[in-house]
Amino acid sequence: MNSNIILPGFEDVIILKAQAIEDQYIIHFEMPIRPHKCPQCGTFTTHIHDYRMTKIKHLKFSERKTILFYRKRRYRCTCGKRFAEQNPIVERYQRFSKEWNQMAQVRAVKGKTFKETATQYGTSVSTIINRFDRVIPKSIKEMKELPPVIAIDEFKGNADKEKFQLIIANAVTREPIDILPNRKKETIEAYLHQYGENVQTVVMDMSHSFKAAVTKSLGKPIIIADRFHFVRYINWAIERVRIRVQSEWNDYDRKKIKRKRFVFLKKSQNLTDYDQWYLARYCTLSDELKLAYELKSHFYRWFEAAKVNGKEKMKQTKKGLKRFYKKVERSRIPEFIRTIQTFKNWETEILNSFSFGYSNGFVEGLNNLTKVLKRNAFGFRRFDRLRAKILLTHQYKDIGNTIG
């Protein structure tokens, strides 16, 4: 074929014919004759034994499905060995081109669903799943040891009959390391015992089972309570007070405060004048609710001061927390009494969050991405594929969707 264009990937082949038929682009090609080394005796030969036509599926060209017809040449050596010629387009025993396989593997990882990728590449879902499974052993490296600082958190995966799975991430680089099949204490303990020899610091939410597993498997690591998780205990406390108090009000105020409940949760400096009016009005209707809001405001002032104090002024931070305890005890509000009891049980871990500055916030972001992956795929039945999809999505995030 006489042409003044070069098709990418076909630079070293001889294109015999190219034609567009309806929604398909068909290319006939062959390789140039060149000496080939016999795989049996090592002698070079150019003696042609026969030709065979091979049909190959290739990447789309101008949004048309591309079919390749390869006039494959077989050589014959003087020793009697017959063998196929080498080519850059397709591997032996394959019916998909090398570039097709490469892109199908990438899109199997980066695509929303296997079905969508299969439709895009004009093949079956099982073929795309097969390409995805091929990527797993090559791309996911076997775990050898965990880094010194890790973060752990649970997420709802619903895979292999387990409702929750556990993600382990590097708290310094903020990259996911591994996914555990469940959040059970025994599973976490066994994993950390096997790979956690170098772990010195663990960031987690305020889960007693996590804490017990980490302590038993790692000895005495530094455990850091995530700030978001202990701050929300205060928000939960004032919400419970509001719900209890409003049950005694008339229908109008009860419904109105439910819609305006955010005025008790937001920082006072972030409230508009309109919101401030509602806050003042409902605080006048209940002294207990007003006191609860004052306790919440006191805690947030301590929290902001603790972030500024850091590790250098930890004594001041600890004294401020003790003062908050006493103020809550004097208030006798049961919801806040229960909250500070939780704080006392986790006091060392809470203070560690200001000493070391690590957070689980990025893990929540990873969990949000995991939920999106799971929702787009309408769930994963098998845990190994869920695990691979999460880890490979992060490994492939800098890889483009094109060849080259």
Residues 246 and 342 in one domain: yes
Main-chain phi, psi angles of 392, to 5 degrees: -70, -30
Residues 303 and 369 in one domain: no
Residues 351 and 238 in one domain: yes
CB 238 within 8 A of CB 265: yes
- Cβ neighbors of 282 (< 8 A, separation 6 or more) are 253, 257, 260, 263, 289
Sequential pLDDT tens for the chain (404 residues): 445 567 788 888 999 999 998 889 999 999 999 999 999 999 999 999 999 999 999 998 888 899 999 999 999 999 999 999 999 999 988 999 999 999 999 999 988 889 999 998 989 999 999 999 988 888 887 778 999 999 999 999 888 889 999 999 999 999 999 999 999 999 999 999 999 999 999 999 999 999 999 999 998 899 999 999 999 999 999 999 999 999 888 888 888 888 988 988 888 888 889 989 988 998 999 999 999 999 999 999 999 999 999 889 999 999 999 999 999 999 999 999 999 999 999 999 999 999 998 989 899 898 998 888 888 888 888 999 999 999 998 888 777 665 55
Residue 160 in domain? yes
Whole domain around residue 11: which residue ranges? Answer: 1-95
Residues 69 and 22 in one domain: yes
Residues 18 and 79 in one domain: yes
Helix (H) or strand (E) holding 284: helix 273-285
Tell me the whole-structure pTM to 2 decimals.
0.81
Residues 244 and 352 in one domain: yes
CB 89 within 8 A of CB 70: yes
Given CA atoms 209, 214, 216, 217 in this order, what sign does their dihedral have?
A: positive
Residue type, 115: K
- Cβ neighbors of 105 (< 8 A, separation 6 or more) are 131, 132, 134, 135
Q: Domain count for the chain, please give it.
A: 3
Residue 132 in domain? no
Residues 349 and 366 in one domain: no
182 Cα distance to chain centroid: 16
246 Cα distance to chain centroid: 41
Q: What is the CATH number of the domain that holds 213?
A: 3.30.420.10
Residues 165 and 219 in one domain: yes
Residue 388 in domain? no
